[in-house]
Amino acid sequence: MVPAASVSVELVPCTETTMRLFDKLTDSGIVRDNGNIRKCMEEWFGDLVLADELRKLLGGGGESDYEDVFTQAEQSEFLFRLFRHLALGGRWCQYEDNVQPYLDVTKLIYKELVSVCKSSDSVGLRVTSQVLKVTAKSEDGSDLIPREADHPQNFLYLLVNPLKRSVTTLYHQFGALLQN
């Protein structure tokens, strides 16, 4: 076991209480009215296969024609990040041709991870959970957790629920194999 010499913690915005953010996928033409994702020529970005406009937007490093659909603030939201992680998938992922399974699973996981309560103005809900993205480095500066922290699919989130006084860990290491 190698001790962490430095740990960085990023407070991730987590304010969304609906899935309306993703209406922009259809409004922009990335997704057709029937939910089918618009295809494009297959490209590789690092070790990610980008075979449609959705994955090109989410993992293409600025190469999408749809870069301006979501603002930086929207892309930094935990809900959007969770959707991105699920839609980009892992090394052995079989991609969906329709966006609905990604939206359904994103909503299910988000509701399981994030706590909400009624707003003080009693009009809607507000998120009470705090989301932290954590990275740890060794003394020589190498990434400990997650390994290759700059890879878009490697992450460690801590979700702090102040109401239940609990912390949930969400972790993924792209392409990792279990080791003895």
Dump pLDDT digits (tens) for 23-49.
Answer: 999 999 999 999 999 998 888 877 778
Q: Which of 80, 104, 87, 61 is nearest to 12 (CA)?
A: 80
- Interstrand relation of 39-45 and 143-145 (parallel, antiparallel or unpaired): unpaired
* pLDDT greater than 70 at residue 61: no
pTM given for the model: 0.90
Dist CA 86 CA 82 (whole Å): 6
Could you identify the residue written with the tokens 């309560």? 117
The number of angstroms, rounded, from the C-alpha of 48 to the middle of its chain's C-alpha atoms is: 15
pLDDT band at 157 (very low <50, low <70, confident <90, very high): very high
Average pLDDT value for the chain: 90
